[in-house]
């Protein structure tokens, strides 16, 4: 590892960036340097501009991938190798806004019922019961479960802890799962008990079950969307759902109000409220300009 890369990683760690963020930022800065075959501290604004154009037009990078590359380069040229002229010329791309995909309760039940692997089945049931992200669910240990207070303590994005209500049904299922699987360090281990289950195994299992059940695409993150939407349809307020999901802004949570079927069915089209008329009203008569109809001005005496 070069001293520059080590300093870049240390700068990220000092600002409490997650290991995944550190890995992603190093990946983007390394690719930037490889594109010009030079050390990144010797490159400037023109190089950055050319590289970002390359990402969009030649690599056909998605907007999330592009914006992550911009964030990595911004950090590098702001903290590790400060350069105001470079940072001011790094624009973020405007990501298209898409509504979250939400499935019905029946579709969720079919997915959960079609999983044969007990560990993956329990991961998916936990996600739907608590609204966790897949990474948050896979990082769970027995210490995160507080059966006395019936809560689940989770450390999410940005190393932020939040407390979630623990369903009595989920707790009983977790106990049955525990006696069957006997996990050690991680609640959801992989083939080796000392290693956590890989996220790709869960994703592939969801794809297989969707094909077998004839379901539309349904991922672990879709289950998180379903959790939020189904809570909203049941009457839970947006602020509470925001806290449960760990969203920083309530506006992020408010997007679920656009996809709740209960709310959509309650909307009455103005077409339904138009009055019904038995017959169309007669058109008003238009006077014709004849000699008899021309008014005679009054005669005034002098």
Whether residues 166 and 257 fall in one domain: yes
Whether residues 227 and 115 fall in one domain: yes
For position 57, which CATH number holds?
1.10.150.130
Residue 93 lies in a domain: no
For position 244, which CATH number holds?
1.10.443.10
Mean pLDDT confidence for 284-295: 54
Residue 285 lies in a domain: no
Whether residues 215 and 144 fall in one domain: yes
Percent of the chain predicted with pLDDT > 90? 57
221 is catalytic: yes
Residue 162 lies in a domain: yes
Whether residues 122 and 64 fall in one domain: no
Whether residues 36 and 182 fall in one domain: no
Question: d(Cα 252, Cα 263) in Å, to the nearest integer?
Answer: 18
Among the listed residues 47, 103, 110, 224, the single catalytic one is 224
Total number of domains in the chain:
2
Mean pLDDT confidence for 65-76: 93
Whether residues 248 and 111 fall in one domain: yes
247 is catalytic: yes
Residue 200 lies in a domain: yes
- List the domain range (segments joined by +) for residue 21: 3-87
* Sheet containing strand 145-146, strands side by side: 145-146, 151-155, 161-165
pLDDT of residue 281: 59
CB 151 within 8 A of CB 163: yes
66 is catalytic: no
133 is catalytic: yes
Domain boundary among 54, 87, 120: 87
Whether residues 115 and 183 fall in one domain: yes
Residue 20 lies in a domain: yes
Residue 296 lies in a domain: no
% helix, strand, coil for the chain, step of 5: 55, 5, 40
Whether residues 57 and 147 fall in one domain: no
224 is catalytic: yes
**101-114 core/surface letters (b: 16 or more CB in 10 A; e: else):** ebbeeebbebbbeb
Average pLDDT, the chain: 85
Residue 277 lies in a domain: no
pTM over 0.85: no
pLDDT of residue 262: 63
Q: How far is CA 250 from CA 135, 238, 245, 254, in A?
A: 22, 7, 10, 6
Among the listed residues 51, 66, 177, 256, the single catalytic one is 256
Whether residues 161 and 71 fall in one domain: no
Q: What is the pLDDT of residues 235-253, one digit of tens each?
A: 888 888 888 988 877 777 7
Among the listed residues 157, 162, 179, 191, the single catalytic one is 157
Whether residues 136 and 228 fall in one domain: yes
The answer, yes or no, to whether residue 291 has pLDDT greater than 50, is: no
144 is catalytic: no
Whether residues 116 and 253 fall in one domain: yes
Whether residues 15 and 50 fall in one domain: yes
Residue 100 lies in a domain: no
């Amino acid at each position: 590892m070069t001293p520059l890369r080590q300093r870049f990683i240390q700068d990220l760690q000092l600002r409490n960036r997650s290991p995944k963020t550190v890995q992603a930022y190093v990946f983007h800065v390394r690719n930037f340097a490889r594109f010009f075959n030079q050390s990144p501290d010797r490159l400037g604004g023109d190089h950055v501009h050319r590289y970002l154009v390359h990402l969009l037009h030649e690599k056909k990078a998605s907007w999330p991938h592009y914006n992550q590359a911009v964030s990595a380069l911004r950090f590098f040229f702001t903290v590790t190798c400060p350069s105001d002229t470079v940072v001011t010329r790094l624009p973020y791309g405007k990501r298209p806004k898409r509504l979250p995909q939400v499935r019905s309760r029946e579709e969720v039940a079919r997915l959960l019922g079609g999983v044969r692997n007990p560990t993956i089945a329990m991961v998916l049931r936990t996600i739907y019961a608590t609204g966790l992200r897949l990474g948050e669910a896979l990082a769970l240990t027995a210490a995160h479960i507080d059966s006395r207070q019936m809560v689940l303590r989770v450390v999410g994005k940005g190393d932020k802890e939040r407390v979630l209500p623990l369903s009595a049904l989920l707790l009983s299922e977790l106990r049955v799962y525990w006696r069957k699987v006997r996990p050690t360090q991680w609640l959801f281990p992989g083939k080796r008990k000392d290693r956590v289950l890989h996220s790709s195994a869960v994703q592939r299992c969801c794809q297989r079950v969707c094909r077998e059940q004839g379901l539309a695409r349904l991922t672990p993150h879709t289950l998180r969307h379903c959790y939020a939407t189904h809570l909203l349809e049941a009457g839970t307020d947006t602020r509470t759902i925001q806290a449960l999901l760990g969203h920083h802004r309530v506006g992020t949570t408010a997007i679920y109000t656009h996809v709740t079927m209960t709310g959509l069915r309650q909307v009455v089209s103005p077409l339904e409220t138009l009055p019904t008329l038995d017959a169309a009203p007669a058109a008003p008569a238009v006077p014709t300009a004849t000699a008899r109809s021309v008014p005679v001005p009054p005669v005034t005496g002098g």
